Structure 1
Amino acid sequence: MLQRSGRSPAALLIAVLAVVLTACGAPGSGGQDSGGDSATAPFRVGLVHSTTGPLATYGKQYAAGFTAGLDYATGGTGQVNGRKVEVTEADDAGDPAKAVAAATDLIGQGYKVIAGSTASGVALQVAPLADENQVLFISGPAATDAVTGANEYTFRSGRQTYQDVLTAGTIVGDPAGRSVIVFAQDSAFGQANAQAVTAVLGAKGAQVTPVLVPAGATDLTPFARQAVDAAPDLLFVAWAGANATQMWQSLQQQGAFEASTVVTGLDIKATYPIFGPAADKIHFLSHFFPGATDNEAYKALEAGLAKQGQEVDLFTNDGFVAAQMVVHALQEGGDDPAVMAKSLEGWTFLGPKGESTIRSADHAVLQPMFTARLTPTADGGFAPQLVDTLPADAVAPPVVPAK
């Protein structure tokens, strides 16, 4: 059962002082501050992610997947090496400042493992905090490429933007000489997509132009019109958040699906109906979706979610894999984050998506990716259908040079 953390300003001040004092001690000298024998004291893990805010739905899926993954990875015991794993959930509301405050609080209490980060902007602020305090940080759904190779203590449990773009590239064929519009929010996530498309497709001869929409924009029509008027060969849409329905409606109203080949990432199940009649005109790259695989880990994820009254969705995989990583790190490293981190480097495991490997050089997660279509169902909705499974090496991002 996930616990929630709510700390007062005074407690946060105490936590900051505790972190400073901890940093002044010898590396690795601090253990799990549990007030008991370290050989039997619980392992405490903090999940700092969005339980409120624009990405709260993503955060809910992640947390449910983590619960299922923890049960699977510990064989139903909830224990590692005879010690209970206690999980505390803290809400960052998608705000980097709140995330840093929450992570600082947990670190001050002696937590050695922090997981989560639904939003890319959050992950980029928590990663250096983990490095400064020498705690293991496993980022979640945050897709920004900058998390990969951030530091020796930072990992990720999901895919990154570069893998999305490489997957999209398999849909459009040879991009040489083609014009590409990246339609995205002006956020860390959107900017990362624009940069990745430029790096991947631009390097292969495409002319890439971003159309970045301010995060607070309420009228999306002018931006949709701008994208359509450019008459691109490929319209690459990268969008996350509560106003996705409004965005797709704007593109539909401006005739985007008739004017260009539209490629986007397959979002959560709740978004499937928003495409309407245009659903079969869109090519979807996919990180994960219900029915994408049928391996042992996927079945465990499905069963574990059912116990919680939940279903498989886009980011349940990221939570499940995060729990697998946490359990492996604790098994090998105990209370020492440096050993935990080393144990994850080069580790190959079976996740719900299939066999994945954490690359030693920069902590990228080499994993399969998918392409899909949405097809109508008898009840008037839509369901994803697998088009192709791309092996991990076909969509591997370039190695980030050591810093």
Structure 2
Amino acid sequence: MRDLMRGLAVGAVLAVAVAGCSSPTAAPRDDAAKGPVKVGLVYSKTGALASYGKLYAEGFRAGLDYATKGTGKVNGRAVDVTEADDAGDPAKAVSAATDLIGKGTQILAGSTASGVALQVAPVAEQNKVLFVSGPAATDAVTGINKHTFRSGRQTTQDVRTAAQFIGDAKGKKIVVFAQDNAFGKANVDGVRAVLGPEGATVEGLLVPAAATDLTPFAVQAKAAKADLLYVAWAGATANAMWSALGQQGVLDTTTVVTGLDIRASYAAYGPIVGKVNLLSHYFAGAAGTDVEKAMTDRVTKAGGEVDLFTVDGFTAAQLVVHAVEAGGDDVAAMVKALEGWSFDGVKGRLTVRAGDHALLQPMFQAKLDASGPVLVKRIDAGTVAPPEKK
């Protein structure tokens, strides 16, 4: 659970490659005379979530190549991608998005951080442009407005995956150990919304995002005597957080569930890895699909390495290409084309729920060994689907 959990704790149509793209009898369109399709990628190139942003951007480039069959064009039009660094700062993201819109950009993608996505979404709505949020996990993005979609999973999907570990929640005390920011609070709300109705008592133990000495908070976590400690953590302090929990004996006295983070974090578990239950949005090799192989081949060829949020960028490109194929420059038509669209993604069959734009998708349970993550169980999309917002 890190975006749930530590980052845990975030498109286009595979036009010709995926079912449901367009009518099989429709003649191919060539809109080359209209000029390039302008796409703005606003994400964390720098800042606390820069490692996530890098994966997202690499995945987007691979997805664009895949969805356009290596041409970089949709309906004869080149896709012109402009990247902007928000450094995880909502104000910078809004400024960059506004600037791109002023230059004629009709499609925005990105948002590594939840707080950023929540500020960019209203800008997209006000300016009537398409926005495809990325790794940002907060449930609040789903259904926030008509112009906003997402290419990653959301907090409730993480929580429902975690719930598979604990069985009957009735009478259990669950403590959500998270940072005091939009992502962390969303996790507290998500766990409470999912497991509260099942009879669990849910409390949040929120840590200031700027805190570097995490020992006092680990002490509080142990004193809470929870049946389940649900860890939702993102960013550079993850190693220090796990070290503090281990040193204070939390992992020896409490069942701990968290989300599998990026490769760089694996070493942080050290000897505690066997004491932590892992849920996973994605890890390299988890899906075993043809689309996953296509993504891996492209990312590897470009010098990158597939990881947790590579898939979010790849999916975003699929969504963008499908929207442009069907809608051209008509944003309302783009929105209509994405609503209810089912397609073959890296993780398997994905569906954009028409009513609130949740991205329905499978999730995974995993364990770590000396070679890296090992798939324990695939959880189907329906089991972890968030309740629909009306």
TM-score for the superposition, normalised by structure 2: 0.91
Name the residue aligned to 2:388.
Answer: 399
Q: Distance in 1 between matches of 2:378 and 2:56?
A: 23
Alpha-carbon distance in structure 1 between the residues aligned to 2:35 and 2:298: 26
Paired positions, count:
360
Q: Which residue of the partner structure matches residue 148 of structure 1?
A: 142
Contact 1:117–1:140, Cα closer than 8 Å, also in 2: yes
Match of 2:82 in 1: 88
Q: Counterpart amino acid of 1:212?
A: L
- Cα deviation per residue 1:327-357 (whole Å; 9 max; x = unaligned)? 0000000011111011000000111111000
Contact 2:32–2:77 (CA<8 Å) still a contact in 1? Answer: no
The answer on 1:112 being equivalent to 2:106 is yes
Pairing 1:185–2:179 present: yes
For 1:2-401, what aligned pairs fall within 5 Å after superposition?
Answer: 39-377=33-371, 383-401=372-390
Structure 1 Cα separation of the partners of residues 365 and 207 of structure 2: 26
Deviations 1:155-208 (A, max 9, x none): 000000000000000111111111111000000000000000011111111111
Deviation at 1:218, TM superposition (A): 1.8
Q: C-alpha separation between the residues in 2 aligned to 1:60 and 1:95?
A: 16
Paired AA for residue 309 in structure 1: G
Aligned to 2:22: none
Separation in structure 2 between the aligned mates of residue 122 and residue 86 of structure 1, nearest angstrom = 23
Whether the 8 Å contact between 1:40 and 1:82 is mirrored in structure 2 is no
Aligned-pair distance for 1:256? 1.1
Deviations along 1:223-279, one digit per CA (max 9) or x if unpaired, are 111011111110100000111111111101111110111100100011001000111
Q: Partners in 1 of 2:288 and 2:69 — Cα distance?
A: 19
Structure 1, gaps ≥5 residues long: 1-36, 378-382
**Matched residue type, 1:210:** G
Checking the alignment, whether the CA contact within 8 Å between 2:62 and 2:298 is kept in structure 1 is yes
Checking the alignment, whether the CA contact within 8 Å between 2:179 and 2:232 is kept in structure 1 is yes
- Which whole-Å CA distance do the structure 1 matches of 2:355 and 2:265 have between them? 36
* Amino acid across the alignment from 1:60: K
Deviation at 1:38, TM superposition (A): 6.9
Residue identity in the other structure for 1:284: L
Answer yes or no: is the 8 Å Cα contact 1:345–1:358 preserved in 2: yes
Gaps of 5+ in 2: 1-30
- 1:252 alignment partner, SS class: helix
Deviation at 1:40, TM superposition (A): 3.9
Tell me by how many angstroms 1:39 deviates.
3.0
TM-score, length basis structure 1: 0.88
SS in 2 for 1:192: helix
CA distance in 2, matches of 1:178, 1:151: 35
- Identity among equivalent positions (%) equals 63
- Tell me which amino acid in the other structure corresponds to 1:89: E
Give the Cα separation in 1 of the matches to 2:210 and 2:268: 21
Give secondary structure in 1 for the equivalent of 2:88. Answer: coil
Which amino acid counterpart does residue 346 of structure 1 have in structure 2?
G
3-state SS of paired residue (1:168):
helix
Deviation at 1:307, TM superposition (A): 1.6
The residue type paired with residue 235 of structure 2 is: G
AA at the equivalent of 2:130: L
Q: Give yes or no for contact 2:32–2:75 (8 Å, CA) kept in 1.
A: no
